[in-house]
Structure 1
Amino acid sequence: MFNRNRIYLAIFIGLSGLALTACGGGGSLTKDSAETPSETVVTPPPIITPPATNDWQAGVFNPASNYINQCAIPRTGNDPYNENKPYPDKAGSEFTEKMWLRSWSNETYLWYDEITDKNPSSFATVAAYFKQLKTEQTTDSGAKKDNYHYSEPTVDFYKEAQSGVVSGYGINWTFIANTPPRILRVAYLEDNSPAANSGIQRGDTILAVDDVSIDINTQSGVETLNNVIFSPTAGESHNFKIRSNDGIEKSRTITAGNITKTPVQNVNTFSTKNNTRVGYMQFNSHISVAQQGLIDAINKFKADQVDELVIDFRYNGGGLLALSSQLAYMVAGPANTDDFYYYKTIQNDKQPIEQPLPFINQEIDYSTFEGKQTLLPDLNLSKVYVLSTSGTCSASEAFINGLKGIDIEVVLIGDKTCGKPYGFTPTHNCATTYYTIQFSGANYKGFGEYADGLTPTPSPQFLADVKGCPVADDFDHQLGDSNEALLSTALYHIKNDSCPLNAQSAKKKFSYASRAADGLELTPPKSLYNTNMDLTWLNKGKSND
């Protein structure tokens, strides 16, 4: 049973591939945002930074603690995200920041022995040095082994982690192609967002922004698209030329704002012709503010006495692993989860062995990361349907794998998931939050090797195969519509225990033969690929009993 005195703190990790869903249609939060506390403004103190001493020796590593918080530009004042305590920054240099990254990576990176130890002084910036502190090896499919290595301003981390607030329009995008001719469509909208209020809908295709064509192939044009679409500053207004599903072109001017994400949407119960009651919910992100929405949804499904449950994870890049465990418990209930664990971490050989994460049966106070006395509701189901795309990542994949580990039947409808069995603890240093892979995870049966994704198939053959139906995402219908391809396939499978005959052919094919050989790619900020969290063990200093 979950011990409320110790819990797992989940952390941000991410999406992969081109079929991405951008968080809120925007990137990092602006420093002059109305919601950004004035204390977070970085003001260089009037001190002289001491010269860096190059004490780098290849293969020789001092403890990371020797360099922590030694900053080229120390912050002054108090940290509003840490009980207004003074910032820990001390006078340092870019070299000391690089040396901290080097030692920290050597101590915690899952594949630390695959990092090439290069002289930090040979890199012009701290960011450039951090970028290469990772493995360059590939998976069995030839994909990069590590696609989840990035950093962001610490203030942006706290805003999204604590309140689900991001800067943008409230549009979550999906790339079908990101080189000319590009196809960028609206995946879903945040509730009551500027985009939703302007009449933008799921399925709309972007044609131009501020008269810059989506297919422009110059560096300056691509930078304009990247900035306006993915990284708008709150308060900026931009004009979007869009083609809707019915082929009608429309123009909308949208003002970016500080968007509060709505991770749980479209909660509904369907009754089939044979009186089977099917619960459905769209779950977009495992962030802390989702906890109450999930509890409310499960309570509704319990009151409706649902026989089956469909969870729409197609755009859920992950989030708090603890929240993922809570949801798994609420689906399966104590009869199916007692005496089993949900997730076991695998770290490098320099780290201590962690206790496995249990199926968490209590609410969590995510402001303190402690458990509450309140027990979670549950549906006591032995089967669950999950809708997926290549944007289904991390904590969402852990949900699938964790339930399979205790023989809860998971039926996967849609596309292969992104393949993200890894996690890390976001670590702060000198106003920047860093993410580097520090562990992988396995279920109760010891399986966690799905770096190339979990694959829906009517006839599973491999451990990473999941019983289900391959179906393409359907932008011609709104999410939650029983006629939408993934949901309708799930409803068919519930009735017939098989995939419809046209399920495989429903996967839409796109030809890339005409794409420009030297076409420039749109490149959303890396933070948009990394919206999910995993865990680190927190001991609150209380009894472990």
Structure 2
Amino acid sequence: MTAPRTPARLALTLGCAAMLAACGGSSGGGGLLGGTPTPSPTPTPSPSATTASCSLSARQDWALEQLNEWYLFPELMVPGTSKTAHADLQNYIDAVVQPARDRSFDRYFTYVTSIREETAFFQSGSSAGFGFRLGYDTSARRVFVIESFEGAPALAQNIDRGAEITAIGTTGSNLQTVNALMAGGGAQAVVDALGPSDPGVTRVLRVRDPSGAERTLTLAKTDFTLDPVSSRYGYRIINDGGRQVGYINLRTFIDTAGPDLRAAYQAFRDAGVTDLVIDFRYNGGGLIDVAELMGDLMGRDKVGQVYDYITFRQSKSSESSTYLFRSQPQAIAPTSIAFIGTGGTASASEMVINSMQPYLPNTRLALVGENTYGKPVGQIALDRSACDDRLRVIAFRLENANRQGDYYTGLASTVPNTCRATDDISRQLGDPAERMLAVALDFVSGRGCSPFSATTQATGREILQPRRPDAVQANLPGSF
């Protein structure tokens, strides 16, 4: 039997907080660990900061109380942190957990966000934006579209993967080049120029299409619903020299990913697929329930065996649990898996990779692309609905069936094989000729590859991310 799961008032998630561009963003979530997702109550409008219950001081006191009770590394908190020295709640939280930051145990994974925004995203993928994901090259001072989302404004104007954003303005007469923005203020200047993530925010963009043609257009941010598995390229069966290989690209671990994952694995099962390429290159994490479902769908021959261990601090050990593979009608039994990853691959994505390692022969599992971010810990959601505050607290660590965890430097040092490849934005995701996918196909087909180490420097672009992301950007890294 699986150990009892955590109580309903705790919402657990695996996400990489988006303070660092290399992290690729954060993923929080509102679903219960191992149970049916439970929506948070609809919060009342946030009271004014002058209201006593939601004053900065009161919010700081509340956050500290939660950290004292739940934080995974209580010995790495700063006692007596000054409240008056910090002008906002996040800065205060950062100061309290600074020792854990210094040891890379909590790289901005503990943060405060909006209950309202996060709940909308995790339940349905709802967000407001242009509907593209951006990457940037610091040295060349260039920004590219690395993915566009269906049903969103950008794709409606044929802005897709491989396009370059060369200038941004609020009108056609005040366009600023991306080169000038980055020269003056780095990546954050581009983030600021794109404006807040509110419906109706409009920007004029100069776009260079992959063909080289340039055009200037006006784009407005609107509400749209994210499909976690793209209807264009999210999953397919690739005929690789007669070998049938299942490919799936999961954008994020949200509630609505379940049906998409089931459909993909049913197609794989129907076709007799046993070789998989799982593309997590931009996936910063998300709901742990969905990560466990993905494991179940690869566990046809593993039912009842350990998928993951979740361990809380000693004072909360009653919350610790073990998840066993469960039977799913769409499940397959893969004999080889190539996981595509980058520095933006984090948390729930890393959990899936780590949890599958004990069950594949050493020659049949690989990490393709670059080293992952390194986040073997997860958050719980602690809510103060009157203030629309959701505190994401690092509260548990993760291990696979062999009790392997602590991969704070990424998974390249733990997986049996690595295959070096760069993200090829000249080709669409899911194209067998795209470099990362081509190398992954080489691995599962036994054609070999060039390895990399945990210390190998990445040569690709970074995901563009605000210093302080909103709830959606924190859960869908690089999205605007």
TM-score (norm 2): 0.82
Name the residue aligned to 2:421.
Answer: 471
Correspondences of 1:104-115 after superposition (within 5 Å): 104-115=66-77
Q: C-alpha deviations, 1:384-409, integer Å up to 9, x for none?
A: 22111111110010000001134464
Aligned position for 2:152: 193
1-structure distance, mates of 2:115, 2:126: 14
In the alignment, residue 427 of structure 2 is paired with which amino acid?
H
- Per the alignment, in what secondary structure is the counterpart of residue 437 of structure 1? strand
* Distance change (3 Å), C-alpha of 1:421 and 1:175: farther
Q: Within 5 Å, which residues of 2 pair with 1:142-291?
A: 145-177=106-138, 181-210=140-169, 211-215=175-179, 216=181, 225-229=190-194, 231-265=196-230, 266=233, 267-273=235-241, 275-291=242-258
Q: Distance in 2 between matches of 1:509 and 1:221?
A: 18
Q: Which residue of 1 aligns with 2:33?
A: none
Residue by residue over 1:395-453, the C-alpha shift from the partner in whole angstroms, topping out at 9 and shown as x without a partner, is: 01000000113446422111111111111112112211111211211111111121111
The code of the aligned residue for 1:279 comes to G
Residue number in structure 1 paired with 2:297: 330
SS of 2:442's partner is: helix
User: How many residues align structurally?
Assistant: 442
Residue 131 of structure 1 is matched in structure 2 by 94
The secondary structure found in structure 2 opposite 1:199 is: coil
CA shift, 1:15, in A, is 5.2
Q: Give the 5 Å matches for 1:406-445.
A: 406-407=359-360, 409-429=364-384, 430-445=387-402
Q: Closer, same or farther in 2 for the Cα pair 1:105/1:6, shift >3 Å?
A: closer
Question: How far apart, CA to CA, are the structure 2 residues paired with 1:501 and 1:218?
Answer: 35
Following TM superposition, by how much is the alpha carbon of 1:7 offset from its aligned partner in structure 2, in angstroms?
A: 8.8
Q: Return the letter of the residue paired with 1:128.
A: N
Structure 2 residues without counterparts, runs of 5 or longer: 28-40, 170-174
The answer (yes or no) to whether the contact 2:298–2:333 under 8 Å persists in 1 is yes
Contact 1:422 1:439 survives alignment (8 Å): yes
Out of 287, 291, 310, the residue aligned to residue 320 of structure 1 is: 287
Q: Is the 8 A contact 2:24 2:345 kept in 1?
A: no
Q: Does 1:13 align with 2:15?
A: yes
Residues in 2 aligned to 1:441 and 1:188: alpha-carbon distance in whole angstroms: 30
Q: Which structure is higher in helix share?
A: 2
1:366-393 per-residue CA deviation (whole Å, 9 max, x = no partner) reads xxxxxxxxx4411122322211111111
CA drift at 1:148: 1.5
Q: Classify 1:248/1:500 alpha carbon distance in 2 versus 1 (closer, same or farther; 3 Å).
A: farther
Q: Deviations over 1:131-153 (max 9, x none)?
A: 322133567xx757433132212
Identity of aligned residues (%): 22
Superposition deviation, residue 317 in structure 1: 0.8
Q: Which amino acid aligns with 2:107?
A: D
Q: Match of 1:83?
A: none
Alpha-carbon spacing, 1:23–1:209, altered in 2? closer, same or farther (3 Å): farther
For 1:176 and 1:524, the matched residues in 2 are separated by 20
Q: Distance in 1 between matches of 2:7 and 2:295?
A: 16
TM normalised by structure 1 equals: 0.72
Query: CA 1:524–1:134 in structure 2 vs 1: closer, same or farther (change >3 Å)?
Result: closer
Q: 1:402 aligns with which of 328, 352, 355?
A: 355
Quote the Cα distance in structure 1 between the aligned partners of 2:459 and 2:57. 49
Structure 1 residue 199: deviation in Å?
Answer: 0.8
Looking at CA atoms only, which structure, 1 or 2, has the larger radius of gyration?
A: 1
